[in-house]
Structure 1
Amino acid sequence: MARVNTLLFLIVVALSVVALIDCLATDRSRIRSFPRGAWAVLILLCPVAGAIAWFRAGRATSASDIHAAPRPCGPDDDPEFLRQLAETIRHR
């Protein structure tokens, strides 16, 4: 029984450490719901629930979660660039 308790303790500590490091390393623009300090305190005070909450609701996982306008990936995806290119070709 002691081995199971030790294993569970190590899993909880590892989960908390990974969540805390991820919280502190995540860019500020990708953090949702609370400020970074509040997430760190939650992870430290409630190791399992705080870590699970951080991974589920604390960090944005995709561009749609960030609430920012998507930027074009390349010039051929940028409508303004394509418009300027068409004008340049027309005026030749």
Structure 2
Amino acid sequence: MLRALLYILPLALTIYAFIDCLNTPEEETKHLPKVVWVIIILLFWIVGPIVWFFAGKVRRPAGARGRAGGWVAPDDNPEFLKSLKDENTQGFEEREADLRRREEELRKRESGEDTES
């Protein structure tokens, strides 16, 4: 079992680094062209992926990704939150008007039943 792990873990690391390198835009690679990084990752089985993770790619702090124009979580996106607020306010006003209309109909029914008795 331990022998299998000695082959599976470096293989998984190499595959992950290879895919990460392929998905990284050319302008975010450091020190060498992307093609050279792919060759290093594939030729140097254990050392190549480790070097890629530490020296091959521009790493940004987690908070800086959204501000740089990438994907932003919905709860961090002010425009998305504003659109929710607008939708909720509009829906609330419609529900409130509907509730007032129903209350008025109920009052008319109740007052009409009281006069008939």
Unaligned runs of 5+ in 2: 62-67, 70-117
Counterpart Cα distance in 1 of 2:53 and 2:14: 11
In the TM superposition, what is the alpha-carbon distance from 1:62 to its structure 2 partner? 2.0
What TM-score do you get using the length of structure 1 for normalisation?
Answer: 0.64
Give the match for residue 81 of structure 1.
none
TM-score by length of 2: 0.50
- For residues 41 and 27 of structure 1, the distance between their equivalents in structure 2, rounded to whole angstroms, comes to 16
RMSD of Structure 2 on Structure 1 (CA): 1.8
For residues 4 and 14 of structure 1, the distance between their equivalents in structure 2, rounded to whole angstroms, comes to 15
- C-alpha distance in 2, partners of 1:47/1:61? 22
Hey, what does 2:93 align to over in structure 1?
none
> Which residue, out of 12, 33, 42, partners 1:14?
12
Structure 1 runs of 4+ with >6 Å offset: none
Structure 2 residue aligned with 1:47, among 45, 48, 51? Answer: 45
Counterpart of 1:6 in structure 2: which amino acid? A
Percentage of identical aligned residues: 33
TM alignment of 1:56-75, pairs within 5 A: 56-62=54-60
- CA deviations 1:21-48 (Å, max 9, x no partner) are 0000001111001111110111111111
Bigger Rg over Cα:
2
Partner-residue secondary structure (3-state), 1:10: helix
Which structure carries more relative contact order (alpha carbon 8 Å, separation 6+)? Answer: 1
Comparing both structures, which one devotes a greater share of its residues to helix? 2
Report the number of matched residues: 63
